[in-house]
Amino acid sequence: MKNQMEEFFIKNSELSMEFSKYLLEHPEIDELLAEEKVIIFLPEFDPELREYNIKMAKDIEAEGGTVLYVKIKQVFPKISSRLVGVEVG
Residue ranges per structural domain of the chain:
2-72
pLDDT given for residue 71 in this prediction:
96
- Positive or negative: CA dihedral 22, 29, 73, 16: positive
Which H or E run includes 26?
A: none
Phi, psi of 60 (to 5 degrees): -65, -45
Write down the pLDDT at residue 17.
Answer: 92
pTM: predicted TM-score of the whole model, two decimal places: 0.81
Tell me, what's the pLDDT at 80? 77
48-80 tens-digit pLDDT: 999 999 999 999 999 999 999 999 999 988 777
Decide which of 33 and 39 is more confident: 39
